[in-house]
């Protein structure tokens, strides 16, 4: 069930048979959540971290008056709240956007990994550092880019993240994210999201069919979104010793 995580980690270096067995063991307990169902509540104190095995999830913060800000989208192979291993209570929540299979990785198991498996510890730490890099890229987009640039940048980023786990074919991928979700992630109204999507289509950059997004002009979409994938560190090797 944890194949997406193994595939993601092995982008940075091969895992030993024992390390793969450990990952398989600690991710064996899974739960299925329906679309829009809460996986982890904001302000809670979970004794596990949630690994997305199948489906798409979002991390959210809610303002005191109930408005939602999506702070991350999580794809298979992502820990949505690995930080809850050390930070309690967690200051954000996680919700399923589609039907999601989630592995509940006990914090006690993560503690054992930090004691006995130094390379796996560094690999999981690397995951949290990339999450932080994505947050910085989003912050820059929100503060310095126009709405068209923000969405173009996000589509490029999501394409590259999904490609690392084999979920992109001919620059097309499943995009089960609503316009409301995009608005809550990038600080614009649903009406504005619709206008931007229409503009991207009119420029011949993307095509959308049902829940599939097709990138028609990859080079130009990257240019519009000022996208440089280096912050994802997709191919950065991790030293074992």
- Tell me, yes or no, whether 237 lies in a domain: no
Answer for the pair 197, 208: CB distance below 8 angstroms, yes or no. yes
- 240 domain-assigned: no
Write down which residue in 117, 145, 179 finishes a domain.
117
Residue 177 lies in a domain: yes
> Does the residue 241 lie in any domain?
no
For residue 41, the model assigns a pLDDT of 94
Residues 35, 72 within the same domain: yes
16 is a domain residue: yes
Say if residue 88 is in the same domain as residue 140: no
Residue 183 is assigned to a structural domain of this protein: yes
Full residue range of the structural domain in which residue 175 is found = 136-232
Q: Are residues 88 and 191 in the same domain?
A: no
Q: What is the predicted pLDDT for the residue at 210? A: 83
Q: Within this chain, do residues 12 and 46 fall inside the same structural domain, yes or no? A: yes
3-class DSSP state of 222: helix
Contact yes or no for 52/74 (Cβ under 8 A): yes
Residues 48 and 13 occupy one common structural domain: yes
Report pLDDT for 2: 55
Same domain (yes/no): 207, 173? yes
Query: In this structure, are 106 and 201 located in the same domain?
Result: no
Assess whether 159 and 209 both reside in one domain: yes
18 and 91 belong to one structural domain: yes
To the nearest 10°, report the CA torsion of 193, 194, 200, 205. Answer: 100
Which of 90, 117, 144 is the last residue in one of the domains? 117
For residue 167, being part of any structural domain is answered with yes
Q: Which domain CATH number covers 49?
A: 2.60.120.10
Diameter of the chain measured on Cα atoms: 54
CA–CA dist 100, 103 (Å, integer)? 10
pLDDT given at position 142? 93
DSSP letter for each residue of 183-219: HHHHT--HHHHHHHHHHHHHTTSEEEETTEEEES-HH
Angstrom distance (rounded) from CA 188 to CA 201? 18
The number of domains in the chain is: 2
Q: What is the pLDDT along the chain (241 residues), one digit of tens a residue?
A: 458 899 999 989 999 999 999 999 999 999 999 999 999 999 999 999 999 999 999 999 998 898 999 999 999 999 999 999 998 999 999 999 999 999 999 999 999 999 999 999 999 999 999 999 999 999 999 999 999 999 999 999 999 999 989 999 999 999 999 999 999 999 999 999 999 999 999 999 999 888 999 999 999 999 999 999 999 998 888 888 7
Q: Is residue 124 part of a domain?
A: no
């Amino acid at each position: 069930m944890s194949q997406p995580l193994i595939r993601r980690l092995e982008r940075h270096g091969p895992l030993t048979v024992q390390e793969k067995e450990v990952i398989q063991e600690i991710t064996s307990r899974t739960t299925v959540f329906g679309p829009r169902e809460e996986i982890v509540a904001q302000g809670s104190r979970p004794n596990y971290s949630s690994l997305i095995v199948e489906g798409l999830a979002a991390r959210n913060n809610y303002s005191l008056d109930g408005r939602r800000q999506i702070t991350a989208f999580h794809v298979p192979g992502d820990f949505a709240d690995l930080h809850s291993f050390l930070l309690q209570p967690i200051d954000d929540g996680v919700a399923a956007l589609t039907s999601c299979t989630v592995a509940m990785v006990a914090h006690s198991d993560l503690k054992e990994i930090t004691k006995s498996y130094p390379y796996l510890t560094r690999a999981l730490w690397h995951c949290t550092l990339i999450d932080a890099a994505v947050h910085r890229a989003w912050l820059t987009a929100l503060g310095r880019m126009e709405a068209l640039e923000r969405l173009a940048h996000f589509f490029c980023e999501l394409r590259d993240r999904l490609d690392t786990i084999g979920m992109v074919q001919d620059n097309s991928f499943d995009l089960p994210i609503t316009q409301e979700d995009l608005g809550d992630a990038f600080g614009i109204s649903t009406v504005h999201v619709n206008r931007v999507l229409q503009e991207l289509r009119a420029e011949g950059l993307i095509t959308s069919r049902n829940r599939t997004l097709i990138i028609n002009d990859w080079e130009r979409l990257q240019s519009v979104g000022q996208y440089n994938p280096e912050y994802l560190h997709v191919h950065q090797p991790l030293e074992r010793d």
